[in-house]
Chains A and B, each alone.
Chain A
């Protein structure tokens, strides 16, 4: 049977009509165009970060580093505020992801249980937060009143739970853990805690990975909240420092004070590229290995809106 199918498929592959051929060619061209548009800017930034800024500033289209010039990286790597913010971002991301997981995974499990009294109401309590909020100012005042303004908790707690992630999580537990398993362990006298910690958690490494990834990416990229809820320069995350250096043009203050004006100016342009590379690199290097979890998360979420 399957052999027959193979033959059939093979035949249709051989007999491509002219229309299909055109369709395929156009399709391949479109895909190639998309890939270039996505990859080239990223590639260009890397090249520009190590090419003589005079050439970069001439606006030439580059395919490889023309006149290597590494002063930018030297200055970037020795610029302490950047590394302080790097450390902050790493700490915020680690702590934030952990807090988010502790809040989201158990709640997602509880909401997946059909015997939870008041389940529909509780789900609504969370989904409603997706579509309506008090707005920027009331949240800001709440944070001030709680006394967590200008601390790591102002970065971590307000974004600890995302209703969307919670729903994805619930959908996973609903479809991923068979009801029979629960019934069987209940017969054996297993409590809800026991079932969650000893049976559900070990079965849910996928959803934990997905959630960790969703939350960690969001934390790493957080910018606006830092701007609103943090005050000290020493606590700012990478994104804020990146914005100050590249978008507010503070990069020209980075070089050592002994440098001549010309060198400084030359350097400032290259520094922008270096800083962008240094701050975007970690996520871009990790993502090919974790992206399948990302796709999985979106797909699980799509099962139930």
Chain B
């Protein structure tokens, strides 16, 4: 038995040696993974240490108690609020923004002129090429007190709304503009799935007297379901990382109560006030929570629909 095992090992080694050139091709990407993905993962241990730059990761003393920075984080009201904000905005995005590209793809697929379909699709993902800074700049000029949106509101005799500074409007603007930015691009994958459906189904349905709407409902929707579920898992797997860059850009003194997310908070305490260990602990909490949610979503999807990402 033992001999067989070492024989297997030798066999693998020989096979690996045969493709050594492929390993050489992998070197740049592996170096990246080690330095910029896995080494920082090792670096999270400073969440359990009193990190001092001069002493380095290994040299810094362990925090006592070990979970000092985690308990510190959970005991602040800012933390609870940031966690709440992150979860609420993610869930709202998921429920409101996720179905829209699917619906858009289904409807676009029903447009009968091929040229119109192409033109609409091209237009639909224009915003995807704009940076968050540009988009937030657009928000700031359109929704300002003397912007065009308030121009329309006041011309109908209503009072102007301070969209960008009142907390109540933050999520609406954030999610609304997210839809604007990503709808077209996110729809691409569903459109591809729709064009792969065999025309035989439609012909058969038409002969049976199905209306257009029925064809969408009973052919298109079930056929793209696997793709939809796959995208849903991926989205859920990123739930704790919702667009913090955009949230940070949209943040101002008067809306932090709703716009402070875990990630924006990590940036502030970590890099602006240099509390490295504390900020790392907060970030680690975020990553772990996110990962657990992904694993659960994957498990549920596997059980319900037999579709999973791993």
Contacts and interface: CB of A to CB of B under 8 A. Distances in A.
Contact of B133 (A27, A113, A127, A223): A223
A35 to B, nearest CB: 5
Contacts of B21: 191-193, 196
Interface string B188-216: 11001100000000010010000111000
Contacts, number: 282
Contacts of B110: 23-24, 27
A30 B183 CA distance: 14
Contacts of B16: 117-118
B202 to A, nearest CB: 9
Query: Main SS of chain B's interface residues?
Result: helix
Given A276-B134, A295-B188, A133 B151 contact: no
Interface in A193-239: 193, 196, 217, 220-221, 223-224, 228, 239
A57 B144 CA distance: 10
Query: Main SS of chain A's interface residues?
Result: helix
B283 A137 contact: yes
A126 B32 CA distance: 10
A76 interface: no
Interface string B118-133: 0011111111011111
Nearest to A115: B19
A141 interface: yes
Contact of A138 (B18, B43, B107, B206): B43
Nearest to A166: B29
Interface of A: 8, 12, 17, 19-20, 23-24, 27-28, 30-31, 34-35, 37-39, 41-42, 44-45, 48, 57-62, 102-104, 106-107, 109-111, 113, 115-118, 122, 125-127, 129, 131-142, 146, 157-158, 160-161, 166, 191-193, 196, 217, 220-221, 223-224, 228, 239-240, 242-243, 246-247, 272-273, 275-276, 279-280, 283-284, 287-288, 291, 294-295, 298-299, 302, 305
Given A23-B110, A59-B151, A295-B121, 4 more contacts: A20-B213, A24-B112, A103-B28, A133-B37
